[in-house]
Amino acid sequence: MSFEVTILGSGSALPTLRRNPTAQYIACNDRHILIDCGEGTQNQLRKFGVKIQKINHIFISHMHGDHFFGLVGLLSSMHLLGRDNGINIYGPKELEQIIRLQLEIGGAKMNFNLNFTALDNSKPTVIFEDKMIEVHSFPMKHRIPVNGFKIQEKEKEFNIIGEVFKESGLSLMSIPFFKNGEDFVDENGQIHYAENFIMAKKSPKSYAYCSDTAYFEPLIPSIQGVNLLYHEATFIEKLADRAKATFHSTAKDAAIIAQKANVGKLILGHLSARYDSGDEHLKEAQTIFENTIIAEDGMIFQV
């Protein structure tokens, strides 16, 4: 099973030719997720070879345009491409009105359902769950209400070592026990230890997305120990005042959060248009958190 994050846009409110506004595509155990959808996201999806119709969950962090202006265009294209299976959209309650209004005025009769879920912004919440993954939202701190998101694989069953099981001649009844990591007692009362029949389990992976937010320690418990963290770093410390005034983070802020949350790897994104490369961001962050990388549009990360 794979768990991949594709950066569709690594820029901030003012897009540049190098950095599109924010969007990310996450493929996790055959779940296809879009987080945020700035203007031009559908074009980025095409450019980077993502199949638009696979996406079935869209999470919108907040109502600043660089995080949602591309959504109505993407939904229109899904319709024109013949989609008939519904799509699940999670975001601030105002999002539904804006999307439906634009589609209605244009006279579009969509052939698929838009299932909106208005997100709570008061506390960490599980907003989606199935047998393979969980998605959590958690409040962050910005000029308007904003959620971060965490995507987490669920604990998997143990895989059984086929050859060992065959040689043992045990009945199939034993399998559910071993898959749960439990020992099996046969009809003669003999104990068959699970550890002899199962492979080491891969630990579930997790990815967290924090954009946009000021430096905000209360979000740390929600992202504690994730394998991969995307955190906004609109500015560097030279513009710390500007970061504070606009409720954004500096590269240093993001690195401190990554360190305190003990994450595996940190991606910095949402870079202000004033920075051509992210070289200064990287240098600043790595003095605090070594395993850092600057997001570029089109990058793919294995979680």
Handedness of CA 50, 51, 52, 55 (dihedral sign): negative
* Segment 108 to 167, residues that bind a copy of itself, using CB under 8 A: 108, 143-144
Q: Which of 15, 124, 204, 298 binds a copy of itself (CB under 8 A)?
A: 15
Strands 23-28 and 3-9: antiparallel
Residue carrying structure tokens 């591309």:
70
Q: Which of 4, 30, 47, 201 binds a copy of itself (CB under 8 A)?
A: 47
Closest CA to 249 of 227, 221, 277, 219: 219
9 binds a copy of itself (CB under 8 A): no
Select which of 66, 212, 253, 297 is catalytic.
66
Binding-site size, a copy of itself (CB under 8 A): 37
186 included as an active-site residue: no
Task: Indicate the DSSP class of residue 271.
Answer: B
Question: In angstroms, how far is the first alpha carbon of the chain from the final one?
Answer: 11
Question: Residue 135's beta-bridge partner residues?
Answer: 128, 151
81 binds a copy of itself (CB under 8 A): yes
17 binds a copy of itself (CB under 8 A): yes
105 binds a copy of itself (CB under 8 A): yes
19 binds a copy of itself (CB under 8 A): no
14 binds a copy of itself (CB under 8 A): yes
293 binds a copy of itself (CB under 8 A): no
Q: What angle do CA 134, 137, 138 make, to 5 degrees?
A: 135
Closest CA to 300 of 48, 22, 70: 48
DSSP 257-268: HHHHTT-SEEEE
Q: How far is the CB of 63 from a copy of itself (least distance, A)?
A: 5
Binding site for a copy of itself (CB under 8 A): 13-17, 20-21, 39-40, 42-43, 46-47, 63-66, 69-70, 72-73, 76-77, 80-81, 94, 97-98, 101-103, 105-108, 143-144
